């Protein structure tokens, strides 16, 4: 099993450009999450999907949209990137009542 995979690993954008971060899991997990990690700020929840077909806002949803494409895939879209969105983005998934499994992360720089 690959676990949780994310693409791309690195990305540089110019202000105003758009992009989609992809996340997939092969563990048959119900819930999936997107976090951003900034120095000294910990992991802040952007959006989550408790089950296929549902999505909910987290702590810092502004400037982002998500799509739970199917049970395996949960994508994060930046419609108009801003320098404040420079961060490391982690996707995570969980089955039931237990740990979250994290992907390797995407390092995004917005110039």
Partner 1 sequence: GENVEQHPSTLSVQEGDSAVIKCTYSDSASNYFPWYKQELGKRPQLIIDIRSNVGEKKDQRIAVTLNKTAKHFSLHITETQPEDSAVYFCAASRTSYDKVIFGPGTSLSVIP
Q: Which is nearer to partner 1, 48 or 74 (CB)?
A: 48
Q: Measured from the CB atom, is 26 or 56 closer to partner 1?
A: 56
CB 16 within 8 A of CB 85: no
Number of amino acids touching partner 1 (CB under 8 A): 27
Does residue 30 bind partner 1 (CB under 8 A)? yes
CB of 39 to partner 1, least distance (A): 10
Site for partner 1 contains 58 (CB under 8 A)? yes
Cα→Cα distances 59→5, 14, 33, Å: 23, 25, 12
Name which of 55, 57, 38, 54 is nearest 46 in CA terms.
Answer: 57
| Torsion 108-4-74-41 (CA) sign | negative
| DSSP 3-state of 84 | helix
The window from 7-15, 60-68, 69-77, 98-106 that contacts partner 1 (CB under 8 A) reads: 98-106
Site residues (vs partner 1, CB under 8 A): 30-31, 33, 35, 40-45, 48, 50-51, 56, 58-59, 90, 94, 96-100, 102-105
């Amino acid at each position: 099993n690959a676990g949780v995979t994310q693409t791309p690993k690195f990305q540089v954008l110019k202000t105003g450009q758009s992009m989609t971060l992809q996340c997939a899991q092969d563990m048959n997990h119900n819930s999936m999450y997107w976090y951003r990690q900034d120095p000294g700020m910990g992991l802040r929840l952007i959006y989550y999907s408790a089950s296929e077909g549902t999505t909910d806002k987290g702590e810092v949803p502004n400037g982002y949209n998500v799509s739970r494409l199917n049970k395996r895939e949960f994508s994060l879209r930046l419609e108009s990137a801003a320098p404040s969105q420079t961060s490391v983005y982690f996707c995570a998934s969980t089955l039931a009542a237990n740990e979250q499994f994290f992907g390797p992360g995407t390092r995004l720089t917005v110039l």
